[in-house]
Structure 1
Amino acid sequence: MSGRLRVLPLGGLGEIGKNMTVVEYDGRIVVVDAGLMFPTPDQLGIDLVLPDFGYLRENRDRIEAFVLTHAHEDHVGALPFVLRELAVDEVPPIYAGRLTAALVRSRLDEHRLKPALAAVRDLPPGEPVVAGPMTVELIRMAHSIPDSFAVLIETPLGPVLVTGDYKFDQTPIDGQPPDMRRLAEIGHKGLLLLCGDSTNADRPGLSPSEASVGPNLERVFAECEGRVVVTSFASNIHRIQQVLDAARATDRRVAIVGRSMRKAFNVARSLGYLETDDGRLVPPHEVEDFPPHKLAVLSTGSQGEPLSALRRMAHGEHPHVRLRAGDTVVFSATPIPGNERAVNETIDRIYRIGADVVTPRDITVHASGHGHAEDLKLMIRLTNPRYVMPVHGDYRRLRLHAKLAESVGIAPERIFITENGRPLEIDAHGARLGKPVAAGVIFVDGMEVGDIEDVALRDRRMLSADGVFIVVATISSQDGRSVAPPEVLFRGVPFLTSEQDAFVSELREEIERSLARAARDQVLEPDLLRSHLHDDVAAFVYERLRRRPLVLPVVVEV
């Protein structure tokens, strides 16, 4: 074959989240997943972090299809932003499982991208579709949400398998185990490249089955004398079913709280992925009407999100659910790396109220949807790939995944650890890493989408930690001399109230000295004068307070 295959990760390598992989053969493109990532604590004011879509925008006319592995936000959340960025007259087909397609249609409708709705197509597993010179097939896998699939992309050079998120759960909640027979068939015929999930490469053994969680939830429900509040990812449909089952077994009603949780519940139930009776459900505004031992609440907020239902309950701000002593809050999820502090703060607030907290450290109330080390080795054994490219993980986990591949017989020179923006190129002569392309991040800040400059994030961090000083100086336009006492305004600056008046008085004197020096040196240009004033004020504040607040000098000429 004279063709060339490029596999270009635009997100998901060196990080947990915003998964997006471009599979390109002879210039035609299939995009697997379009995920987002939530901001780190130092990305103040940022709502979402997206992959850089520049490569797709430049090659929009060559995109044959999008294929989505499952409906978690780190795999589909960026799709509305991608489609808006591409701004094509005809949206390429978007293939996904039935539940994923329904949730994506709902999300596109929220973003007012109704013309794109027709492009979303249900793709049953095992039914290949043509995408330019490639064919695409979904292979059933097990994860924490139904309709999770690996993506098999057949190319003239050979097949590529992108695993998505998976584990080899033989007792899944929905009764749909991974299609190991199909994976073995692929391995027998010969897999060219395996792009495998690395999220739990650092955990030994096999990932526990989702079925292990149900009995423990039922035990917590039975032993708790007050209300039980279970928080989990809204998209964890299997966990929602287990909460419903535990409530039925212990004769409790269930209130579903949180917009995203209600939305996921309604979509999954309408498609038959959830089973419950209407008499079991309680509207959130009726929660306080039921005896505590007869009620369970299923809530968003497992990651300590500031506006989530559980966080508002913990702070006594939720309009319908008020936590009290005797309640038990079950965290049926583990914190995403970077969210630990927010989760711990929420737990501490719950304890302060007098309620109890149960986490996966106390009892198995959560099972990861990602395979552990033995799952990853089993995937490699089944598919027998010629080349392996670990994906979906930080660099530590990518390297651990590579070592696992070596341990089951993959030669080191056939394992490629790469990074976002650097493609793996394969042709008849072999495989190699190619020339990098731009693959940074795009920030969503409120309604704005784009590149938030480092200086903006730095200023937000300064405001958050040390506050802001605004200095207003009134000078003569003729000689630069101060003609009125300077004004000093400050917000969020941490210093003792007893010292405040004396400090401000001394700061005004320093401003007067700075203006006098500038006038003596004939510094009359406003921008230059502001720079001098900024440096002098910042130095004085740091010397006195050992803080670096944001200093904003304002110069008024009269």
Structure 2
Amino acid sequence: VCHSIPDAMGIALRTPLGTVIHTGDFRLDNDPTIGEPTDFGRMAEIAADGVFLLMADSTYAENEGYSGSDREVAQTLHDIIGNAEGRVLVASFASQIARIQMVADAAEAHGRRLAIVGRSMVNNLKISRDLGHLKIKDETLISARDALGLPDHRVIYMNTGAQGEPQSALARMATGTHNDVDIREDDTVIISATPIPGNETSVNNLINNLVEQGAHVVTHNTRNVHVHGHAAREELRVIHNLLQPRHFVPIHGEYRMLRAHVDLAIEHGVHQDDAFLLQDGDVLRLTEDTAEVVEKIPAGHVFIHGHGVWDERGNVIVERRLLARDGFVTVILGRDSNGKVVGRPKIVSSGFVHFLEADTLFKDAIDELTAVLDQESGKSLQWNEVEATVKKTVARFFSQRTRRRPTIIPVAFDV
């Protein structure tokens, strides 16, 4: 299949019940700049005896029309780079090998040298040249550090960071923390990608930082500098008409995208009882006569810290979210040999209150806690009861004064 990376492919599995097809990420581009177009003939051959189950890419199932061709992007990049008076910086996915070739071609056409910046993109450049996917002259390439010695109009930087990742090359350039490259007045920065759902804020922050530094920023909103690697609705219709599956499961997309693809599949002949919008953990059982979701197994994020491994439902993650939201407060109490509180408590905190406000706030909290403990001093209390009183009193006080609920941790030391 054709995608935004070389050698993309789908998978066809022959099973006793029939053929199962997983498209992988794909689009229909009949003239890609690198790689082969989607092989309709092979698909038709595989589907000749029927397709029992189709699992297909749904990332752009909401978008009407076609995904577009890389040839259009190549021409746009050529025009922008040719008209730029100063330096040009192009950000893209490190896996977008075809985009690297386009920028290299534009660099050669306009007498510029190309510096690749970002570890993953540098690694992919080397691998792709070794495999023959990229055809870039050695004299076209230059290191980012050596490029500093060239006039601005003779340099193109191509780098990672199109999704606003905070440690990416472009993000560090935009904040002035990159070792070799900073952003200058009149730089042209081309973000040759669209934000992955969920990354919109990071990308907007990146663009703001670049503009503040004086750069001219070009995005997919202003010029045709990116086509995505996923089939839009017309392309999905072609695949459904070609394969005509009995059962269908949409994959790769947000819930709304999966829903849109289910609706499209039903429009093109899949019975509504044979189209399954699965969520993480759903187990779909298919037989010759039936298809149904039979159970749900635990699935989700797994968090690793050091040797610790936790899922989202564990107490560790719940507690860390509480700490991140409101911080914590430690109440230190003196305890005599009879288990009674002696002296005035002490309070310290982390992530809860500004240090300029802490002294007054903590003094008032200690006064209130001391008054409560004095009232309880005549009672015979177990230490766990004292801890409960401390937590309740201090939590109520801080809630009333700050409208926040930090985690309260009583600590006793024997005197």
Which secondary structure state, in structure 2, belongs to the residue aligned with residue 289 of structure 1? coil
In structure 2, distance between residues paired with 1:246 and 1:521: 84
Does residue 306 (structure 1) correspond to residue 166 (structure 2)? The answer is yes
Q: Is the 8 A contact 2:249 2:275 kept in 1?
A: yes
Does residue 486 (structure 1) correspond to residue 353 (structure 2)? The answer is no
Shift of 1:518: 5.0
Q: Is the 8 A contact 1:482 1:515 kept in 2?
A: no
In structure 2, distance between residues paired with 1:275 and 1:518: 82
Shift of 1:326: 1.5
**Residue number in structure 1 paired with 2:61:** 201
- Counterpart amino acid of residue 398 in structure 1: L
Larger mean Cα displacement after TM superposition, 234-243 or 156-165: 234-243
Which secondary structure state, in structure 1, belongs to the residue aligned with residue 148 of structure 2? helix
Q: Deviations over 1:313-339 (max 9, x none)?
A: 122111111112211222111222222
For the structure 1 residues 554 and 334, does the alpha-carbon distance in structure 2 shift closer, same or farther, using more than 3 Å as the test?
Answer: farther
- Which of these residues, 247, 250, 259, is aligned with residue 387 of structure 1? 247
Does residue 472 (structure 1) correspond to residue 332 (structure 2)? The answer is yes
Shift of 1:372: 0.7
- Counterpart amino acid of residue 398 in structure 2: V
**Residue number in structure 2 paired with 1:506:** 364
In structure 2, distance between residues paired with 1:456 and 1:288: 48
**Residue number in structure 1 paired with 2:395:** 538
In structure 1, distance between residues paired with 2:6 and 2:79: 25
Does residue 270 (structure 1) correspond to residue 130 (structure 2)? The answer is yes
Q: Is the 8 A contact 2:164 2:202 kept in 1?
A: yes
**Residue number in structure 1 paired with 2:413:** 556
- Which of these residues, 47, 70, 77, is aligned with residue 187 of structure 1? 47
Q: Deviations over 1:440-462 (max 9, x none)?
A: 33234467554355543344444
- Counterpart amino acid of residue 231 in structure 1: A
Unaligned runs of 5+ in 1: 1-140
Q: Is the 8 A contact 1:480 1:518 kept in 2?
A: no
In structure 2, distance between residues paired with 1:242 and 1:519: 79
Does residue 529 (structure 1) correspond to residue 386 (structure 2)? The answer is yes
Does residue 456 (structure 1) correspond to residue 316 (structure 2)? The answer is yes
Which secondary structure state, in structure 1, belongs to the residue aligned with residue 178 of structure 2? coil
Q: Deviations over 1:194-248 (max 9, x none)?
A: 0111111111111111222111112221232222221111112122222222222
Larger mean Cα displacement after TM superposition, 351-360 or 437-446: 437-446
Which secondary structure state, in structure 1, belongs to the residue aligned with residue 60 of structure 2? coil
- Counterpart amino acid of residue 490 in structure 1: S
Give the length in aligned residue pairs. 415
Q: Deviations over 1:89-136 (max 9, x none)?
A: xxxxxxxxxxxxxxxxxxxxxxxxxxxxxxxxxxxxxxxxxxxxxxxx
Shift of 1:414: 2.2
For the structure 1 residues 273 and 529, does the alpha-carbon distance in structure 2 shift closer, same or farther, using more than 3 Å as the test?
Answer: farther
**Residue number in structure 2 paired with 1:289:** 149
- Rg larger for: 2
Which secondary structure state, in structure 1, belongs to the residue aligned with residue 12 of structure 2? strand
**Residue number in structure 2 paired with 1:406:** 266
For the structure 1 residues 378 and 523, does the alpha-carbon distance in structure 2 shift closer, same or farther, using more than 3 Å as the test?
Answer: farther
Q: Is the 8 A contact 1:480 1:515 kept in 2?
A: no
Q: Is the 8 A contact 2:329 2:350 kept in 1?
A: yes
- Which of these residues, 160, 164, 167, is aligned with residue 20 of structure 2? 160
Which secondary structure state, in structure 2, belongs to the residue aligned with residue 344 of structure 1? helix
Matches within 5 A, 1:136-175: 141-175=1-35
Q: Is the 8 A contact 1:481 1:516 kept in 2?
A: no
Q: Deviations over 1:279-338 (max 9, x none)?
A: 111212223222222111111122222222222112211111111221122211122222
- Which of these residues, 84, 88, 105, is aligned with residue 228 of structure 1? 88
In structure 2, distance between residues paired with 1:228 and 1:486: 62
For the structure 1 residues 427 and 466, does the alpha-carbon distance in structure 2 shift closer, same or farther, using more than 3 Å as the test?
Answer: closer
In structure 1, distance between residues paired with 2:87 and 2:318: 43
In structure 2, distance between residues paired with 1:401 and 1:172: 25
In structure 2, distance between residues paired with 1:442 and 1:259: 26
When normalised by structure 2's length, the TM-score is 0.92
Q: Is the 8 A contact 1:479 1:522 kept in 2?
A: no
In structure 2, distance between residues paired with 1:363 and 1:446: 45
For the structure 1 residues 450 and 146, does the alpha-carbon distance in structure 2 shift closer, same or farther, using more than 3 Å as the test?
Answer: farther
In structure 1, distance between residues paired with 2:110 and 2:346: 66
In structure 1, distance between residues paired with 2:22 and 2:341: 69
Larger mean Cα displacement after TM superposition, 423-432 or 165-174: 423-432
Compute the RMSD of aligned alpha carbons.
2.2
Q: Is the 8 A contact 1:188 1:384 kept in 2?
A: no
Shift of 1:500: 4.1
For the structure 1 residues 301 and 535, does the alpha-carbon distance in structure 2 shift closer, same or farther, using more than 3 Å as the test?
Answer: farther
For the structure 1 residues 489 and 354, does the alpha-carbon distance in structure 2 shift closer, same or farther, using more than 3 Å as the test?
Answer: farther
For the structure 1 residues 355 and 523, does the alpha-carbon distance in structure 2 shift closer, same or farther, using more than 3 Å as the test?
Answer: farther
In structure 1, distance between residues paired with 2:72 and 2:64: 18
- Counterpart amino acid of residue 523 in structure 1: L
- Counterpart amino acid of residue 394 in structure 1: E
Q: Is the 8 A contact 2:73 2:225 kept in 1?
A: yes
Q: Is the 8 A contact 2:250 2:258 kept in 1?
A: yes
In structure 2, distance between residues paired with 1:528 and 1:333: 59
Larger mean Cα displacement after TM superposition, 204-213 or 455-464: 455-464
Shift of 1:351: 1.9
Q: Deviations over 1:406-463 (max 9, x none)?
A: 2122221222222222232222323333233333332344675543555433444444
In structure 2, distance between residues paired with 1:519 and 1:215: 82
Shift of 1:151: 0.1
Q: Is the 8 A contact 2:61 2:236 kept in 1?
A: yes
Which secondary structure state, in structure 2, belongs to the residue aligned with residue 282 of structure 1? coil
- Which of these residues, 289, 293, 313, is aligned with residue 433 of structure 1? 293
Shift of 1:496: 8.5
Matches within 5 A, 1:51-66: none
Q: Is the 8 A contact 2:26 2:230 kept in 1?
A: yes
Shift of 1:494: 4.8
**Identity of matched residues, %:** 38
- Counterpart amino acid of residue 241 in structure 1: Q
Shift of 1:508: 2.2
In structure 1, distance between residues paired with 2:100 and 2:386: 62
Unaligned runs of 5+ in 2: none
For the structure 1 residues 556 and 264, does the alpha-carbon distance in structure 2 shift closer, same or farther, using more than 3 Å as the test?
Answer: same
Q: Is the 8 A contact 2:300 2:311 kept in 1?
A: no
